[in-house]
Amino acid sequence: MSLEQKKKIIEVKNLRAGYGYVEVVHDVSFAVGEGEILAILGSNGAGKTSTLRALTGEIKPMGGEILYEGKSIVGVKPYKLAQMGLSMVPEGRHLFGDLSVQDNLLMGAYLIKDQNQLHKNLEEVYKLFPRVKERAKQTARTLSGGEQQMVAIARGMMMNPKVLILDEPSLGLMPKLVAEIFEFVKEIARMGITILIVEQNAAETLKFADYAYVIQNGETVISGTGKELLTNEDVKKAYLGG
């Protein structure tokens, strides 16, 4: 299970990023191995989302390197990253609220021009998320928070991504739904898709993450396999409630 054996698909080295003149991310480094579930953990305001935003081209890094498949993707726009196989499921879900669930999914397949491929993807996503299929005709904004999160992930899957990036998928959901969402994440990982997940819910995330990094005050402070971190005293104290 060691990281070194796997080809690294994303590498972030000494990243610095922020907004205006305010630096929020001071020194973040991590690497995502192909096909693994990598978790980035940390409390609110630690710099997790800013790290992701720098990665997905939404904010400009102030320093450091971001490599995707060995090439720098600093300054590459989000839509280009999507074309390169990076699918981002943003915090707050960002569904197309006035569209039906199915139209949301079809919009997720914007980059797929082949109609047959598109229908195949839709079938696969529906197989993976039966709950989403049940809601296919419903307007997205009328769904519950958990269902919306499922649709957001399902939409992210429609483009056949190499890497699925999830920003706080458990945010605002009750524990039962969180468990359900994480089940889907595991299922997607089994399909061979690399997963980068950013979470505050360390206890649940560490149970299925292959490897995890903890960000504190804009710096990566601890890293290890999911199991290692679950038993790590510092992590236990700070994030797992003793």
Partner 1 sequence: MSTLLQALYEGLINGTIYALIAMGIALVWGVMGILSFSQGEFLMIAMFVAYFFSTATGLPPIVALPLCMGILFVLGLLIYKTIIYKALQGPTLSQRLITFALSLVLVNGMLMFFGGTFKTIQKTGMEGSLNVGPLVIAKNRIIPFLIAVCVFAFMLWFLNKTRQGKAIRATSMDKTAAEHVGINTERSYSLAFGLSAAIAGAAGCALSYYYYCYPSVGGNFQLFGFIAVVMGGFGSVEGAIVGGLIMGLVDSLTGVYFNTAFKYLGVCVIFMLILQFKPKGLFGGK
Rounded to the nearest 5 degrees, what angle is found at the Cα of 193, between the Cα atoms of 231 and 56?
A: 85
Q: Could you give the C-alpha distances from 14 to 17, 27, 31, in angstroms and in order?
A: 10, 5, 11
CA 47 to CA 40: how far, in whole Å? 10
- Among 12, 40, 95, 195, indicate the residue that binds partner 1 (CB under 8 A): 95
**Contact between 208 and partner 1 per CB under 8 A:** no
**Contact between 62 and partner 1 per CB under 8 A:** no
Q: Could you give the C-alpha distances from 28 to 2, 17, 188, 214, 230, in angstroms and in order?
A: 20, 9, 26, 10, 21
Would you give the DSSP letter of residue 24? Answer: E
Given a contact cutoff of 8 angstroms between Cβ atoms, the answer to whether 181 and 188 are in contact is no
Considering the complex, state which of residue 88 and residue 209 has its C-beta at the smaller distance from partner 1.
Answer: 88
- Among 87, 102, 148, 201, indicate the residue that binds partner 1 (CB under 8 A): 87
CA 37 to CA 217: how far, in whole Å? 23
Considering the complex, state which of residue 87 and residue 232 has its C-beta at the smaller distance from partner 1.
Answer: 87
Given a contact cutoff of 8 angstroms between Cβ atoms, the answer to whether 18 and 64 are in contact is no
- Among 40, 159, 229, 235, indicate the residue that binds partner 1 (CB under 8 A): 159
**Contact between 124 and partner 1 per CB under 8 A:** no
**Contact between 99 and partner 1 per CB under 8 A:** yes
Distance between alpha carbon 145 and the CA centroid of its chain, in Å?
A: 17
- Among 1, 72, 75, 83, indicate the residue that binds partner 1 (CB under 8 A): 83
Residue with tokens 């102030």: 62
Considering the complex, state which of residue 34 and residue 58 has its C-beta at the smaller distance from partner 1.
Answer: 58
Rounded to the nearest 5 degrees, what angle is found at the Cα of 81, between the Cα atoms of 71 and 127?
A: 120
Task: Name residue 100's beta-bridge partners.
Answer: 139
Q: How many chain residues are in contact with partner 1, going by CB under 8 A?
A: 27
- Among 90, 169, 218, 226, indicate the residue that binds partner 1 (CB under 8 A): 90
**Contact between 78 and partner 1 per CB under 8 A:** yes
**Contact between 88 and partner 1 per CB under 8 A:** yes
Considering the complex, state which of residue 97 and residue 145 has its C-beta at the smaller distance from partner 1.
Answer: 97
Rounded to the nearest 5 degrees, what angle is found at the Cα of 215, between the Cα atoms of 72 and 91?
A: 75
**Contact between 164 and partner 1 per CB under 8 A:** no
**Contact between 79 and partner 1 per CB under 8 A:** yes
CB of 105 to partner 1, least distance (A): 10
**Contact between 77 and partner 1 per CB under 8 A:** yes
The tokens for 22 are: 């305010």
Contact residues for partner 1 (CB under 8 A)?
56, 58, 77-79, 82-83, 87-90, 94-99, 107-111, 113, 155-156, 158-159
